[in-house]
Each structure stands twice: as C-alpha cells, then as structure tokens.
Amino acid sequence: MEGTPHPIPRTVEEVFNDFKGRRAGLIKALTAEVDKFYQQCDPEKENLCLYGLPNETWEVNLPVEEVPPELPEPALGINFARDGMQEKDWLSLVAVHSDSWLLAVAFYFGARFGFGKNERKRLFQMINDLPTIFEVVTGNVKQPKEQSANHNSSGKSKSSAKSRQSEPPNKMVKMSPPSKDEDESGEEDEEDDEQGATCGACGDSYGADEFWICCDICERWFHGKCVKITPAKAEHIKQYKCPSCSSKRARV
C-alpha cells in the first residue's frame, strides 16, 4: 500500500537498506509518533495494517486489494484490538507482528532474486545485529547485552580459575580429577568435576592410579593414554585441546 514507488532491492545490501528504512518507520510509529499512530487505528474502521516504508516513514492503511499481493502483507486488523487491551500490550503485539513482517519482506526479496545460502546467511546476520522492534518498544534492547556480559564475566572467571589450576605448581592438580577423599572445602566446580568422571574417549571411569587430563575447551576428562599425553608432556601444555575440539577449530 505504498503511494510512491520505491526502487526494488536486488542485492543483499539493498535488501538490508530496505529493511532498515521500513524498520525505522515502524519504530517511529510505535515510539516517537505513537499518539498519531494510536489515533489512526480507530477500531470503528475496517481492517487496518501498519506499513513501514523504505524512506523511514510509516502509514496506517487498508490492505492491498490485489490477491496475491506483490509483497507480503503486515498483520491485518490491528485496530480491532486497540481498545481491548492495555496500550503497552497492544503496542507490543503490533511490534511483534511488525518484526515478522519485516523478515517476510526481506526474505521475499531474497527468494525473488535468487539469493544463495551464503547471501541469505549474510542478510540474516546483518538483520540480527539490530535490535528487534519489539525490543525497542518494550525497552528490552539492553537486556541481551547485559545477559551476554554476565555470561562472559562468569565465563572469564571460570576460565581464569581454570588457567590458575593449569599453571605450575598446580598443573598436576588440573591433570587429575580430584579424589573424593580430598579436602571438601574446595569450590563447587571442583566438586562437580569429581562426580561421575569418565573418559571422554573410552568411557571408562576414573581410576586413582591413572593419569588424566582435562580439555580446556569442552571440559571433558581423558585418560592420558587415550589422547597420547604423558605427565611430562602435560607440564608444557598451557591450554589443552582434546582431539575433537582441535579438529573443530581446524575446520572453522
């Protein structure tokens, strides 16, 4: 339902720019210009749709008459739900449907102009780097970053604790699963490691008289003999990668 014709995007960059323009228009409707948007969504009118346009504007209008439409259509009848729920919930609902519509339009162009696997993947990655309209409208834009930061922080602390264990003179402590008879005042991570320790290669349980080594990537324990690592060789390994993790890194 776009009054002014817009150039049809044909490359990944052009489709992404089209996506960003439409997204910006929709965000305006649901945030900065929300009063105007609210007034236009009169429940007494017919089925209405919220359109985001490539030039970063928006419009509330009736759906296109042609069937099937040239482009995927936004959610139909958003005005009917306006007075039946709290405004913030209604705006969140419209935001979710707007996110879905943007993806539909972007990948419609991708399908129409024959984007291959790598082009579709690149397009999605570019889109996925932007917060969703729902996140913007609900104020949850920063939440994923905070979760990521907390996760990274805990990961770093765990990694640093593990690296401390790997450094002499505690190197051999790292190389053998702790015995249940040892001091139980250690960290919870160490208590978890000692329960049900089995070799990631052969599957046999831990034996007190055997040399073991732990992978710093997947954190699985292995018999030294199963991965061809001796205690002497382990002393010179700063970060041990098991054969499986080493092969994964090589393929990447």
Same domain, 133 and 46: yes
Tens digit of pLDDT for each residue in 206-236?
A: 677 778 888 888 888 888 888 888 888 888 7
- Segments in the chain below pLDDT 50: 1-3, 143-149, 153-176, 178-195, 250-252
CA distances from 19 to 51, 62, 123, 132 (A): 12, 21, 10, 12
Chain centroid to CA 166: 32
Q: Give the DSSP H/E element, type plus range, for residue 59.
A: strand 58-61
Same domain, 21 and 92: yes
Residue 246 lies in a domain: yes
Same domain, 89 and 206: no
- Provide the pLDDT for residue 223: 83
- Provide the pLDDT for residue 156: 44
Same domain, 129 and 24: yes
- Provide the pLDDT for residue 194: 46
- Provide the pLDDT for residue 177: 54
Same domain, 24 and 104: yes
**Residue at which a domain ends, from 119, 138, 157:** 138
- Provide the pLDDT for residue 136: 95
Q: Does this model's pTM top 0.75?
A: no
Same domain, 134 and 19: yes
- Whichever domain contains 245, its CATH number is 3.30.40.10
Same domain, 207 and 120: no
CA distance 107 to 113: 10
Chain centroid to CA 66: 37
- Which domain covers residue 36, as residue numbers? 12-138
CA distance 150 to 138: 21
